[in-house]
A = this chain, B = another copy of it.
Amino acid sequence: MAEKRVSAEEIFKEFKEHSISEFFRKNRQMLGYAGKVRSLTTVVHEYVTNTLDACEEAGVLPEIIVKIKSTGEERYLLKVTDNGPGIPKKFVGKALANVLSGTKFQRYMQQRGQQGIGAAGCTLFSQITTGKKIHVKSGTDKEAYECDIGISIKDNKPVVENIADLEKGSFKGLIVEAEFGGVKYENSDHGVAEYLKRTALVNPHISVRLVDPEGKEMAFPRSVSEMPQRPKQIQPHPLGLESSDLLDFAHVTESTKISSFLVDSFARVTQNKITELKRLLPGIDLSKSPREMTWDDAEKLVLAFRKIKWIGPEMDSLSLIGEKQVEAAIRNILGPEFVSVVERKPKVFRGGIPFVVEIGVAYGGSAGRVTDGAVSGNILRFANKVPLLFDGGTCGISEAVKGIQWKRYNIDDFEASPISILVSVCSVYIPYSGVGKQSVAQEEEIVEEIRLAVMDGLRSLQRYLSGIKNKNTQESKYNTIMRYVSQLSADLSELTEIKSEIIEKELKSFVDKRYSALLADEKAETAQEGSAVAEALED
Contacts and interface: CB of A to CB of B under 8 A. Distances in A.
Nearest to A182: B242
A85 B8 contact: yes
Given A6-B59, A243-B131, A100 B299 contact: no
B140 A6 contact: no
Interface stretch (A101-109, A374-382, A450-458, A479-487): A101-109
Contacts of A229: 2
Given A87-B8, A142-B9, A393-B393, A244 B128 contact: yes
A473 to B, nearest CB: 30
B34 A442 contact: yes
A95 interface: yes
Interface string A383-424: 000000001111100100000000000000000000000000
Contacts of A27: 115, 431-432, 435
A128 to B, nearest CB: 4
A415 to B, nearest CB: 10
A96 B129 CA distance: 33
Contacts of A2: 59, 227, 229-230
A224 to B, nearest CB: 14
Interface string A254-290: 0000000000000000000000000000000000000
Number of copies of chain A assembled together:
2
A230 B1 contact: yes
A142 B394 CA distance: 46
Contacts of A142: 7, 9
Interface in A1-20: 1-9, 11-12, 14-20
Contacts of A132: 295
Chain A residues touching B, range: 35 or more
B100 A17 contact: yes
B15 A242 contact: no
Contact of A59 (B4, B15, B95, B443): B4
Interface in A23-42: 23, 25-27, 29-30, 34-35
Given A1-B230, A98-B17, A299-B131, A141 B9 contact: yes
A131 B247 contact: yes
B243 A85 contact: no
Interface string A308-322: 000000000000000
A131 B244 contact: yes
B398 A15 contact: no
20 contacts: A3-B59, A7-B141, A8-B85, A8-B86, A8-B87, A12-B88, A12-B95, A15-B95, A16-B106, A17-B98, A17-B101, A18-B100, A18-B106, A27-B435, A34-B431, A131-B247, A131-B299, A153-B248, A392-B393, A433-B434
Given A12-B91, A23-B105, A392-B394, 5 more contacts: A15-B101, A35-B442, A129-B244, A393-B398, A394-B439
